[in-house]
Amino acid sequence: MTNEQQLKQSVQDGRMIESVEEMTDGYKKALEQILLVSGDTELMSAPAYYTESMNAPSLNARTSCVSVIQDELGHGHIAYRLLEDLGYDREDLVYGREPHEFRNTYGFDQPLENFAELVCAHGMWDRAGIVLLGDIHENTSYAPWKRALTKVSKEEQFHLRHGETWMRRLANKSGQTGEKIQEAVDWMFPMGVEWFGMPDGKKKNNDQLEYRIKGKTNDELRQDWLSRTVPMCEDLGLDVPAHYDEESEEYVVEYDLPVAFDERGKEWRFDESISWSDVMDRWRSRGPANERYVNMLQSGKLEGAV
Ligand SMILES: [Fe+2]
Ligand SMILES: [Fe+2]
């Protein structure tokens, strides 16, 4: 058995990893990859949330929105702090990279352009974060990350509650406000479905599971998200292209995943079926707000340097 196989076996048997000295190259690489995506997603959610937080309809709402942003910056720092133990430089991660080098989820490359979109991001995308991090919190073999996530999970629950409360408030209003929530859900819900990546059958590299850096597969995580998000939307009278299927006893999406996304019009072209490698290309070329968000984050540093 190679070192890699031995480590995979021992973490599957419950061994916890405390430091870089205990890692193989394969373990370290898989951990770095997921920590970068996680840290960048947390960090980039802050500028994504910022503009519409300033347009919140009451002082109370604005205060909650700003404290969410503060939390997200803190979550980003936790992930980068863990990456420092693996040899990265935190300053360099935040300020030393070009916009296209960030690895955040594609959703946070999208402009959020009204308050309805902001609260849908909290109600649906923070739920995606909770599902992903909740799995890591429960199942990861990397002990320092497990400990750090206790604080993160509590704060994410607050973001979600804030999002759901406001989605309900706006959805109950007649006329334009109610319509805005449905319009936001129309493009943001499928973004949440895509968030979890390739279906299990298509995925070739399973290192993160084999090293037990995470515990659940993409499809299991997507199912977790659907099982919370679909009933919430149905309860608010919002239409989503997914439902519970009695026969298979799971939530099913009512289109063939994956599909093309028109970034300018914020519209999914449900009848235009594409491949997962097309999705990866779309993610890699980053979305329309990527540069603006990275500039917002890095501007403090640039101004300070002048
Ligand atoms: Fe977060
Ligand atoms: Fe959050």
Q: How far is the CA of 233 from the centre of ligand 2 (A)?
A: 19
Q: What's the pTM value of the predicted model, to 2 decimals?
A: 0.95
Q: According to the model, what pLDDT value does residue 254 have? A: 97
Ligand nearest to the CA of 41: 1
Q: Binning pLDDT at 50, 70 and 90, where does residue 303 land?
A: low
- Cα distances (angstroms) measured from residue 145 to each of 54, 78, 205, 236, 253: 32, 9, 22, 35, 32
As a whole-number percent, the residues of the chain with pLDDT over 90 amount to 93
Q: According to the model, what pLDDT value does residue 205 have? A: 87
Q: What is d(CA 251, CA 228) in angstroms, rounded to the nearest whole number?
A: 10
According to DSSP, the residues that pair with 268 across neighbouring strands are 261
Q: How far is the CA of 273 from the centre of ligand 2 (A)?
A: 31
**What total of structural domains would you count in the chain?**
1
Q: How far is the CA of 69 from the centre of ligand 1 (A)?
A: 9
Question: Packing angle between helix 25-54 and helix 126-139, nearest 10 degrees?
Answer: 150
Quick: pLDDT tens for 51-99.
999 999 999 999 999 999 999 999 999 999 999 999 999 999 999 999 9
Question: Packing angle between helix 290-305 and helix 25-54, nearest 10 degrees?
Answer: 90
Domain range holding 127? 3-305
Q: How far is the CA of 126 from the centre of ligand 2 (A)?
A: 5
Under a CB-based contact definition with an 8 Å cutoff, are residues 164 and 242 in contact?
Answer: no
Categorise residue 212: left if φ over 0, alpha if ψ from -120 to 50, beta otherwise. Answer: left
Ligand nearest to the CA of 49: 2
The pairs formed by 276-283 with CB atoms below 8 angstroms and a separation of 24 or more are 276/198, 276/202, 279/194, 282/106, 283/106
Q: Binning pLDDT at 50, 70 and 90, where does residue 294 land?
A: very high
Q: For residue 200, give the CATH number of its domain.
A: 1.20.1260.10
Q: According to the model, what pLDDT value does residue 177 have? A: 81
Q: How far is the CA of 245 from the centre of ligand 1 (A)?
A: 31
Q: How far is the CA of 127 from the centre of ligand 2 (A)?
A: 8
Give me the mean pLDDT over the 16-24 stretch. Answer: 97
Quick: pLDDT tens for 161-219.
999 999 999 998 888 888 999 999 999 999 999 999 999 999 888 999 999 999 999 99
Lowest mean pLDDT among 33-47, 164-178, 237-251: 164-178
Q: How far is the CA of 47 from the centre of ligand 1 (A)?
A: 13
Q: How far is the CA of 176 from the centre of ligand 1 (A)?
A: 30
Tokens linked to 140: 């990861």
